[in-house]
Copies of this chain bind each other. A is one copy, B any other.
């Protein structure tokens, strides 16, 4: 039996485009002699459709699209993910389903049993868990079909009380197929392969795994669909961060010969880089925009954001605006110009002084002779924000936010100022990772000027300001933040790890009391196991470590 894996990039709710893509691929697979073509989880709707699932009209559109796709499955079978109605009298109204299509019809529906409801996942919000298990018989083979999380309950301290494969294996399947929407983070690829390997070995079955690819706002799906033999060796894997398609002959895979396939071994930083570039590109493509605008400060964050955007959108589509104030150093402007020239990106220098002066004069009767402080610093950042948004509104650019995760964590940024933007490119990238990414971008020659990478970080909102005036070294800060945010370590555990108590208390308080700022930030491309945004849900009005 020949099985095609179709790793495609879907657009949530765009039924005409998703359906056309799937039908094209069915036709291509048929021509290439495949018996079965497999698409990823919730392919017809795109993943995650979120609360669109509460609209009957939306779910109806999925059913209509499915019948349309089924008509094209006459000489070939297909497995397609979509939400379907729970026709029982009890439980949530929908299932997360995989339809098996053949002979122009829907032959059977397999529902997802294990519904992830942690981090960025909300599946139990919409779906009833499956509790019926049946293999699919097709062309003399018995297929154990599962959906994403269904294979993930093989770790210690299992999150769920059952394992769908434990039920299916009693029906003597010949192979496993898993359709997934498993988003990227820089630990995920390795973990995912380990989980899949455990399944192949435990159930002694070959596995065909089809993952979603492409960005859905902040969620970055990396693809990496793969085929494993029954010993858990990877036979082949599809590309990462791009659409891909491949046909496999099953008899080639069930053989127990040695595993000659060499897995791709991209570095963590290379993967983050590719994820972010895909994230920017898909965000613009799917919204129907071409051009980005951003403020270049002379610092590493905006430089890195510009370089990533240039790769994603083309240099000519990244408009850089330098917005110096009286506190900006000459090198900030020079370094930014050098960056723009290195990448051949358009740029302009627009001074904020007149706007800042106007605000300060307007406010003088109220501020009187109070010393200059945060309010005045924020006026500068917000004046830049107004100018960038005015250009964005006038010419149809999307403003890219350039804040990094370290800043976002401790609230080192101005709401309605440098925290503006349609998309935060590096909001899940710690400052120390921003340096590593910049070095990676310069791997074949200088793109980001060396001076931008080596200079001491500064917001340049007052004379001779340095980040280190108010923050610890980024190496220490980032480690504390990682342990607190990603690893959920509390203050006692952090002190136990050797960090100074007053520093720990100060940092954790900064993180917690700045929740209100992060509530209003743009979506951040997610590359870690715990990004700010939909995967981290915190009360604003609370008093814990704050």
Contacts and interface: CB of A to CB of B under 8 A. Distances in A.
A375 interface: yes
A34 to B, nearest CB: 29
Interface string A48-59: 111110111110
A273 B182 CA distance: 45
A355 interface: yes
Given A12-B541, A51-B537, A539-B48, A363 B391 contact: yes
Contacts of A327: none
Contacts of A354: 358, 361-362
A262 interface: no
Interface residues of A, number: 98
A283 B536 CA distance: 21
Given A48-B539, A378-B389, A416-B416, 13 more contacts: A11-B541, A11-B543, A12-B542, A46-B542, A50-B538, A51-B538, A90-B159, A117-B124, A215-B541, A217-B540, A217-B541, A286-B541, A375-B391
A490 to B, nearest CB: 3
A158 B86 CA distance: 12
A290 interface: no
Q: How many copies, total? A: 2
B158 A544 contact: no
Interface stretch (A308-316, A333-341, A379-387): A379-387
Interface in A384-415: 385-387, 389-391, 393-394, 415
Nearest to A323: B362
A223 interface: no
A386 B393 contact: no
Interface of A: 11-14, 17, 46, 48-52, 54-58, 60-61, 89-92, 117-118, 122, 124-125, 157-161, 215-217, 282-283, 286-287, 348, 350-352, 354-355, 357-359, 361-363, 366-367, 370, 373-376, 378-379, 382-383, 385-387, 389-391, 393-394, 415-416, 420, 422, 488-493, 516, 519-523, 534, 536-546
A544 B366 contact: no
Nearest to A350: B362
A379 B370 contact: no
23 contacts: A13-B539, A14-B544, A17-B543, A46-B539, A50-B538, A52-B539, A54-B488, A56-B493, A57-B491, A58-B490, A117-B122, A122-B537, A215-B541, A217-B539, A217-B540, A348-B366, A375-B394, A376-B390, A382-B390, A415-B420, A416-B416, A416-B420, A520-B520
Contacts of A161: 90-91
A541 B216 contact: yes
Contacts of A387: 359, 362-363
B358 A490 contact: no
A379 B375 contact: no
A424 to B, nearest CB: 11
Contact of A539 (B49, B125, B375, B415): B49
Contact of A366 (B91, B350, B542): B350
Contacts of A92: 159
B366 A355 contact: no
Contacts of A536: 51
Contacts of A118: 125
A538 B55 contact: no
A50 B422 contact: no
Contacts of A12: 539, 541-544
Quick one: which of A49, A351, A393, A521 has the most chain B CB within 10 A?
A393
